[in-house]
Chain A
């Protein structure tokens, strides 16, 4: 089964959140964990981006592409980008892959490529 990244929909007012928060930012009325999980769309457009040369420890690559994407449902997320010539507004498609490796742990996140 394909891996997903989930948004959280408030059961009272339908406000969608990503990432998870304890209290809905829309109605501010949640009891504990009154959210439904909804997979985030994979397609969207690139809102802004950078190529980082000065990486934190753990990253054994020369550069890392990062961007903020506006997804097809209007929500936004930050992800890694693997795009040769990124442009603001270009369509992108994401897939959930390992974005950080630490001893005994792999962290999964969204990697966007040109659509």
Chain B
């Protein structure tokens, strides 16, 4: 298997965007191609979840490859729910590692704000089990809420811990100009003050408004290349050293231990094993905090902290910038936003930015090893990646 490097990265602002989905993907791609210094690619993968349903567009990759004047390169769209981005990176990795392609563009984009909030919620809910979950009106916030209730009961996580994740990540986004939320929040405002229930109402008890990521439009892209090509291009050498993906039961109730995120543990374990790393080697991590509870639970399952102690590490500041293992220093999904198909790629974008030392006010000192966890479904399809800087 050949080594695979990230030679270029690009991103759009995550917000409500008033231009077509294919242009969102293409804009991020242009930046990544320019960053890498390439004008021709062998293959394009475009990660997206909702084009057909939300934007009434199919075959998105065909639109993107042509718009970028990259024809006749191969092109395919990859739909894998909220883990589409991670899956597209994996596909690009396999294409380069196998020796089949030397330069692969991996883009991800979503334009969810084209429909109203109710339709967007319903669109994401279609990833749930059609007979055992979807017909009941289950949404992703509802799944996260039921999971949170168990976590609170079993491990002593409180609404304050959830709010602390929200404050940490949303305020981290103030250091990231591409991030969706650019408003400082405080525990006082969202939890402690008499106005907190108005500022921060329940969306699915016990989760509140500020426990959930925003609904965002946006795109992100990477250029993956072979070692030979990476050295020729002369960009900082950031190598993808570990790739893990795992699945779990479609219906959440079928898992023997409902607080167990087996697919996260397996995907992370496989990625670390492939890289020859341990979780303790990681300098900076991007976890999939679509809901605040998920950052706490994933920080345990990937191996940063023992099960049931993620919220204690959070209390001690170990997951903040400057802490033992800084998590989501660019805002995470909570602050940066969550255009579902783009998220896995935006996580990689942040890690590469950090490993290049380009993080500015949010830079983790001397970061050499990065990790991403892209969580699809409600934990039924997860992609984890490790990245390392080579000097």
B122 (CB) vs chain A CBs: closest residue = A56
Contact: B139 with A52, CB < 8 Å?
A: yes
Q: Which of A17, A54, A58, A99 contacts B141, CB < 8 Å?
A: A54
Known: A48-B146, A57-B119. A107 touches B139 (CB 8 A): no
- C-alpha gap A80/B133 in the complex (Å): 10
Contact: A50 with B145, CB < 8 Å?
A: yes
Of residues 66 through 115 on chain A, the ones whose CB sits less than 8 Å from some CB of chain B are 66-68, 76-80, 88, 99-100, 107, 109
| Residues of chain B contacted by A59 (CB below 8 angstroms) | 137
Q: How far is the CB of A111 from chain B (nearest CB, A)?
A: 9
Contact: B137 with A52, CB < 8 Å?
A: yes
Contact: B146 with A67, CB < 8 Å?
A: yes
Say if the beta carbon of A33 comes within 8 Å of chain B. no
Known: A50-B145, A56-B122, A99-B137. A78 touches B252 (CB 8 A): yes
Q: How far is the CB of B388 from chain A (nearest CB, A)?
A: 37
Contact: A56 with B136, CB < 8 Å?
A: no
Q: How far is the CB of B320 from chain A (nearest CB, A)?
A: 29
Known: A52-B203, A58-B122, A78-B252. A100 touches B135 (CB 8 A): yes
Known: A53-B202, A54-B204. A78 touches B118 (CB 8 A): no
| Residues of chain B contacted by A109 (CB below 8 angstroms) | 135-136
Q: How far is the CB of B382 from chain A (nearest CB, A)?
A: 19
Q: Which of B122, B135, B142, B254 contacts A52, CB < 8 Å?
A: B142
Say if the beta carbon of A47 comes within 8 Å of chain B. yes
Contact: A78 with B122, CB < 8 Å?
A: no
| Residues of chain A contacted by B145 (CB below 8 angstroms) | 50, 52
| Residues of B in contact, count (CB < 8 Å) | 35
Contact: A53 with B137, CB < 8 Å?
A: no
Q: Which of A56, A58, A76 contacts B253, CB < 8 Å?
A: A76
Contact: B138 with A78, CB < 8 Å?
A: yes
Contact: A19 with B118, CB < 8 Å?
A: no
Residue interface bits B99-122, CB-to-A below 8 A is 1, else 0 = 000000000000000000111011
Most chain B CB neighbours (cut-off 10 Å) among A20, A76, A80? A76
| Residues of A in contact, count (CB < 8 Å) | 31
Contact: B118 with A55, CB < 8 Å?
A: yes
Most chain A CB neighbours (cut-off 10 Å) among B118, B125, B204, B207? B204
Contact: B132 with A68, CB < 8 Å?
A: no
A20 (CB) vs chain B CBs: closest residue = B131
Contact: B202 with A78, CB < 8 Å?
A: no
Known: A68-B146, A78-B252. A54 touches B139 (CB 8 A): yes
- C-alpha gap A53/B202 in the complex (Å): 7
Say if the beta carbon of B251 comes within 8 Å of chain A. yes
Of residues 15 through 55 on chain A, the ones whose CB sits less than 8 Å from some CB of chain B are 17-20, 47-55
Say if the beta carbon of B149 comes within 8 Å of chain A. yes
| Residues of chain A contacted by B251 (CB below 8 angstroms) | 19, 78
Contact: A55 with B136, CB < 8 Å?
A: no
Q: How far is the CB of A65 from chain B (nearest CB, A)?
A: 10
Contact: A47 with B136, CB < 8 Å?
A: no
Q: How far is the CB of A24 from chain B (nearest CB, A)?
A: 13
- 17 further A-B pairs in the complex, CB-CB below 8 A; given A51-B205, A54-B139: A19-B129, A47-B258, A48-B147, A48-B153, A50-B145, A50-B149, A52-B139, A52-B142, A54-B203, A56-B125, A66-B137, A76-B254, A78-B133, A80-B137, A88-B153, A99-B135, A99-B137
